[in-house]
């Protein structure tokens, strides 16, 4: 992921854009801030509990729950209190299954990719749809190590089955939801701006002016779509970049603070410790040991 917000990493292989990740929060990461990617993502919770946000809704997920994230949908994952959560990410590009000129793409997948059809984002363990999907998800998880060798056809058949059942349970967006989709496009413009200019001074007025909203209306919409305030989001993004620099560069804490938009070093240190539980120096030392 060459930036935190718009994920451009290739998942799987160019010739087979599909992969399965095992993730433990907070052992591997503390959180994934709001981001999106062109692939579809399925999350299956193995143990524990946590929060997953998809578009405007935040879900408190637990063992056996399933989260469905359509292509290009804003989403985030974070820890619930001090709980640990283990889950699997199944990520795949629709190009693995159908090209954009095929009959099945036009009939079934195009509406999902263009967000004109709403899939069920949160599927509880007790729901009927979960019982339909879980065997296919489990099969993909169990056979994840053979994904590029002998099981390509089985993988594709499992993904087709999952999409088939999801489409059976899909619905149309109402007018309010369609307006939200329109706002997503504008909020992504602001997110791109943050991504490119996080080292500079950025205010709510700056961000709102990019999409021709008043500061108050922008703040309301941003919080509705991301589950956090713009100010908190900007700080979290800068801290994620700072953490990456602490791990992957030899730069000093002072240099990194300045490069990530923190002109006040004590404020940077306090903010970093609040987010990661350790000071920047301790984080850097631990990551290099």
Model pLDDT, residue 184:
76
34 sits in which H/E element: strand 31-35
Claim to verify: residue 112 and residue 182 sit in the same structural domain: no
Claim to verify: residue 261 and residue 156 sit in the same structural domain: no
Claim to verify: residue 122 and residue 187 sit in the same structural domain: no
With CA atoms as reference, report the closest residue to 141 among 88, 212, 66. 88
CATH number at residue 221: 1.10.10.60
Model pLDDT, residue 9:
54
Model pLDDT, residue 3:
40
Asked if the structure places residue 11 within a domain, the reply is no
Model pLDDT, residue 73:
85
Asked if the structure places residue 189 within a domain, the reply is yes
With CA atoms as reference, report the closest residue to 46 among 28, 64, 21, 60. 64
Domain end, chosen from 172, 192, 213, is at 172
With CA atoms as reference, report the closest residue to 253 among 230, 224, 228, 285. 285
Q: Domain limits at 273?
A: 176-288
Claim to verify: residue 54 and residue 166 sit in the same structural domain: yes
Model pLDDT, residue 288:
64
Claim to verify: residue 238 and residue 203 sit in the same structural domain: yes
Model pLDDT, residue 177:
64
The residues facing 50 across adjacent strands are: 61, 79
Domain end, chosen from 133, 151, 172, is at 172
Claim to verify: residue 129 and residue 193 sit in the same structural domain: no
Claim to verify: residue 147 and residue 203 sit in the same structural domain: no
Extract the tokens encoding 276. Answer: 């990661």
Tokens 């946590």, located at residue: 50
Claim to verify: residue 55 and residue 195 sit in the same structural domain: no
Asked if the structure places residue 4 within a domain, the reply is no
How far, CA to CA in Å, does 137 sit from each of 91, 142, 215?
11, 9, 43
CATH number at residue 86: 2.60.120.280
The residues facing 75 across adjacent strands are: 35, 54
> How many domains does the chain divide into?
2
The long-range contacts involving 180-184, CB below 8 angstroms and separated by at least 24 positions, are: 180/55, 180/56, 180/224, 180/225, 181/115, 183/221, 183/224, 183/225, 184/55, 184/74, 184/225
Model pLDDT, residue 157:
96
Asked if the structure places residue 98 within a domain, the reply is yes
Average pLDDT, the chain: 88
Claim to verify: residue 241 and residue 147 sit in the same structural domain: no
216 sits in which H/E element: helix 215-226
Spans in the chain with pLDDT lower than 50: 1-6, 8
């Amino acid at each position: 992921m060459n930036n935190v917000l718009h994920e451009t990493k290739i998942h799987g292989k160019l010739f087979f854009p599909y992969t399965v990740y095992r993730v433990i929060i907070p052992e591997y990461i503390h959180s994934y801030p709001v981001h999106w990617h062109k692939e579809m993502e399925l999350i299956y919770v193995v143990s524990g509990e946590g929060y997953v946000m998809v578009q405007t809704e935040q879900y408190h997920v637990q063992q056996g729950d399933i989260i469905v994230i359509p292509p290009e949908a804003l989403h985030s994952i974070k820890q619930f209190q001090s709980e640990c959560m283990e889950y699997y990410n199944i990520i795949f590009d629709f190009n693995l299954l159908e090209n954009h000129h095929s009959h099945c793409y036009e009939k079934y997948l195009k509406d999902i990719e263009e967000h004109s059809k709403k899939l069920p984002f949160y599927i509880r363990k007790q729901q009927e749809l979960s019982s339909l999907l879980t065997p296919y998800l489990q099969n993909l998880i169990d056979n994840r190590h053979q994904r590029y060798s002998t099981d390509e056809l089985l993988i594709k058949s499992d993904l087709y089955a999952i999409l088939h059942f999801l489409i059976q349970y899909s619905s149309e967006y109402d007018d309010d939801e369609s307006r939200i989709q329109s706002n997503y496009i504008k909020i992504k413009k602001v997110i791109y701006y943050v991504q490119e200019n996080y080292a500079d001074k950025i205010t709510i007025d700056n961000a709102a002016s990019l999409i021709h909203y008043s500061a108050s209306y922008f703040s309301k919409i941003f919080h509705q779509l991301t589950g956090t305030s713009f100010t908190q989001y900007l700080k979290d993004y800068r801290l994620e970049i700072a953490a990456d620099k602490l791990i992957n560069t030899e730069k000093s804490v002072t240099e990194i603070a300045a490069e990530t938009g923190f002109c006040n070093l004590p404020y940077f240190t306090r903010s970093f410790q609040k987010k990661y539980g350790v000071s920047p120096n301790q984080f850097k030392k631990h990551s290099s040991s």
